[in-house]
Each structure stands twice: as structure tokens, then as C-alpha cells.
Amino acid sequence: MPRMTRRIALLAGLALGAATMASAADTDAALTAFIEANNRYAPPNADPSAVAATYAGNAVVAHPMAELPGGPVHGADAILAMLKEIHGRYDTLEHVEARRLVSGDRAVWEGWVAATIRNDGPAFRIPFVLSLTFDADGRVTEQFTYVRPEQVREARQ
């Protein structure tokens, strides 16, 4: 390989590596903003529209271990409706982080949801994991929520 071609290939590789690092840093910032919005605009200060703004218009939300009625949620309007329904169930709702892992445009967030069911219902804490993909604007395009179905059922009783 000629010397100039090797230099160009090396520079291209460095540029791609830098783009990946910047993307991971951007994804980490997007993840932080996503969790902060979920907490800031959750009950008792419920603003589902503000949380919905953290999703891309064509986003998909799925719960592989405890699928939502009707299956995965597709698109901005359906996600907003889902968030309104969720916010309507609770007097308080908070995401508590345990750890995170970010690579490129993807992030895995581990933690708990701590909530109180509306109208003096019980308080509960359920561990769960989010697998998220973010677009270039820092909005969620895919969300997979992993939670044990029996814990959700027990918490609602």
C-alpha cells in the first residue's frame, strides 16, 4: 500500500474512532437527559408531553418480559398516550439509577422505579433495566424495558 494511502486510511480510522467516542459521550448525555426528564415530569409534577418529547417521532417502546396490552408501542402519539396512562396510575414516580453502560448510540440503564399508587395506594420499588437507542438529536428511537411481570402484578395489589 503506498505511503499516502496508508496515511489517508489511518486518518479515516482516527476520524471514525473519534466519531464513536463523541457518539458515546453524546449518548451518555442523552441518557442523563432522558432519565432527568422522566423524573422531573413524573407525578406529582406529571407532564407526559415533556417526557414524550425525549422520544423520536418514530420511536418504539417494548416490554419483552411483560408486554404491554396490544404489544409494542409505535410512534409519538401512541407513546404520549402510554405515558398519560402511566402517569395517571401514580401519585409519585421516580427512576433510581444503579448503573449504566453506553456504547455508540446505545445505552443500558439499570435501576429501580419507586412509586406510590394513586389515591393512597401502596408504595413500591421494582428493579428494571432499560435498553435504549438514541438518534443524532439525542432522542430515544428504541426502548426495551425489562421487568419481571410478577413484580409488576404484586406491586399493583
Summarised one tens digit per residue, pLDDT across range 96-132 is 999 999 999 999 999 999 999 999 888 999 999 999 9
Q: Based on C-alpha coordinates, what's the Rg of the chain?
A: 19
Give me the pLDDT at residue 2, please: 56
Find, among 68, 38, 64, 39, the residue nearest to 52 by Cα: 38
Quick one: CA torsion of 45, 76, 98, 100, rounded to 10 degrees? -140
| Fold classified for 23-156 | Nuclear Transport Factor 2; Chain: A, (3.10.450)
Find, among 101, 105, 112, 109, the residue nearest to 148 by Cα: 112
Q: Quote the pTM value.
A: 0.81
In this prediction, residues 24-41 reach a mean pLDDT of 96
Mean pLDDT estimate for the chain: 85
| Cα–Cα distance for residue pair 43/117, rounded to 1 Å | 10
